[in-house]
Structure formats: C-alpha cells, structure tokens
Structure 1
C-alpha cells in the first residue's frame, strides 16, 4: 500500500463512510492546507524561520525524509506543486500560506484519492434538488489506508511507543477541527511542548490553529450581531 500524505489522511478521516464531510468548509480547507505545510516541513522540503516565514532550499528535487514525509502519486504531486509555489515566493508568513493554499485544496486531495482508487465519486442531491458530490469507499467499508491511520492515532493515544512528528501533527489538526468519531491522541506531549514533539511542523500547526480559531470567532461575532438585530437589542 502506498503511503498517504498528511492531507490525504486528514481528508479521509473527515469524511464518513457514506462519503459526506463531517467538517464544514472553510475549516477543513485551512486544516488540509496546514497538513500540506506540515508534510513539507517534516520532510525537509521547506524551512520556517524564527519569525514564522516560510523558505525553501535551492534544490527543488530534494528527497523526502524516509519514514517522515509521505505522498506518492497524486499526494506527492500536490506537495511538489506547493513547494514550487513557496520557492517562487519565499519569506511569506506561515499563516498567509495556510489561507492561500486553502482555496481548492480539499477538492485536489479528493480528486487524487478518487484517481488512486481509495475513494469513489458519487452523485447526490441536497433536499432532492441541489446536486453535490459524495466521496465514499469503493466497497462501502472503511478504506485500508484510513484503518491504518486510525491504528497509528490509537497507538499514540495509548502511549504505545514514541509519537512521530507526523502523527503528532495529524492529532493536533484533528483536535483543532473537532473531527467526530476519531480516536485522537489527546495526551500527546505536543499539547504541552509543541516544538519538542512536532519538530518542523510546529509552525504550520500553530498557524492553522490560529486561522481556524479566527474564523470561528468571526462567525460567532456575526451570529451575536444578527441576534442583537433580530431581538432589537
């Protein structure tokens, strides 16, 4: 079985077996963009300085660190495409990249999972009228790749051995999104000492968490404002 990228793992865990997303946009988009940055950072394809600015080295063909950064086939192509974009605009803030890369990134990951046979695209309608796609496992059961990801997260939650930066990053992203029905390593040291456990992924995780929290705060303010108007407060 080919290894999945963090973005692919996060998307699989964020869709149920019926092919429906359990996390709304744009929160999922931000988190998937952050997952891409985490994979590149852990794999040594990008560097992030002390001020959170994203840089690349001078070798665009540099290899990924064995056992750390994943992504083959379409998953790898997305990582390479993002790295090329970053190389063309070095020095931008991690948070800015999370926002910019979020546009369309979930669709790209889903399309790659369909092409690789992990998911299949189905037609569905909302209220029997509005068309929407669904992305379900081909045989109706949990994809083996997702099962393996859940096993890794469960092992981290039990404290069964050391937790690598990719697993810690995935757990942090899932915690930030509140993805339902996923065993997430809540007690990870990453929650207390992010740089020590997450390694190079610490900056993307911090930036993603900040963007998601900012979006939620904006929505909450809008709801409160609308309620005040409706009640005449």
Structure 2
C-alpha cells in the first residue's frame, strides 16, 4: 500500500514514473511473505514454508501464485506471476478502508477509474510514509520497513515520486550508509529476497526505459 500510494498522484492517476509499479508491488509481496515466515530462500530459489491463508487478500494472492508456480523459482521469476491482478487488489483494499475513493473514468471507451484520496488531498498514510523517507534522506536512523520501501521505490523507478527534488544518487548513498537499519531484519530471508527482488526489478525497469 505504501509503495502504491507513492506511485499515484493526488488526482488518482499513476505518476509518470510508475511504469513498472506492478513489479515493485509484487516484490513487496515477496518481502512481506518472507517477513511473515511464509516463504524462504535457499540456493536463490523461493519455497513456501507455510501455505495456509494469511487472511490478507494481497498476501494470499501472492502465496497462491507462488504455490501454483509448479516448481521452486527465483524471486525474479515470480514477479511476473504475482503482479497480475495485484494492483487492483491493493487499490480495492485502500478503497475499502476509506484511504482512497474510486471515480469512474474512461479513456477512448476503456474503463480507467481514478483513485483520488478520500480526504481531498494527500492521504494521511502517504504523508506519514513520506515523513519517514525524508528522515532517511536526512541521515536519521531508519526501520526495516522504510528501508525496504525506499529500496523498492528506487528499483521500480519511482525516485522522483518518492523523493521529490532529491537526486537518485543521494538516496542510494543513504541506503548504502544504512545497509543495516537500526532494528534487525525480522528473518534473514527478508534481506536476501529484497536484494534479489531489487536486482530483478532494476533489470526490468532498465529494459522498459531502453525499449521506450
């Protein structure tokens, strides 16, 4: 949810740099599942350690896609399988909780609803997230969740949206300086999967930029 809010403008449309947002969301799901102890990483491949439903529609979507893949796969291979339908699930959850609202909208007769903030401005959740990212850039201690979000935002190409007015190199330098956040990673697999996801998404983002 945090990553998606960074990738949407206040008018409810995706930002210009949100072209590979779906891959970032899929990567976030992998990290969340690892933190919850539902998946592990061994030999560069993901395996499901607990297939029971979590009760969270977004995480359960990812868990089903991983389980149904048919074999153990790398985090990069799983991104494509998980991203299908994922953005709608995240948006539905934010609408259900009153963070965003859905506005019918069409482009050339194609339904493309907008998702502006329910409060008419920047969602409170996004404001809180941006405050944490700002502290990270300023050199303050960070938690693992903020570190993960910043890493995924950079990998997904959301630098301008997540860190307006801040050079990508500056954010990269800060993340390198705090490679180990103030609090420990919940499980080792979280950091390992985040590293694998980061490399895979950067490769995808680079491909998109090159082809564009």
Q: Could you state the TM-score of these two structures normalised by the residue count of structure 2?
A: 0.78
Q: Is the 8 A contact 2:7 2:161 kept in 1?
A: no
> Counterpart of 1:66?
none
Could you give the per-residue CA deviations for residues 111-146 of structure 1, whole angstroms, max 9, x where no partner exists?
1111111101112344x7654211100121111111
The answer to whether the aligner puts 1:202 opposite 2:194 as a matched pair is no
The answer to whether the aligner puts 1:214 opposite 2:203 as a matched pair is yes
Q: Is the 8 A contact 2:51 2:67 kept in 1?
A: no
Identify the match of residue 93 of structure 1 among 74, 77, 84.
74
RMSD across aligned positions (CA): 3.0
Gaps (5+ residues) in structure 2?
none
Identify the match of residue 114 of structure 1 among 70, 73, 95.
95
Q: Is the 8 A contact 1:168 1:190 kept in 2?
A: no
1:6-155 correspondence to structure 2 within 5 Å: 8-22=1-15, 23-25=17-19, 27-49=20-42, 51-58=43-50, 60=52, 76-87=56-67, 89=70, 91-126=72-107, 131-155=111-135
Gaps (5+ residues) in structure 1?
1-7, 63-72, 224-233
When Rg is computed on C-alpha atoms for both structures, the one with the higher figure is: 1
The size of the alignment, in residue pairs, is 199
Distance 1:11 1:61 in 2: 23
Q: Which structure carries more strand by proportion? A: 1
> SS state of the match for residue 117, structure 1?
coil
> SS state of the match for residue 133, structure 1?
coil
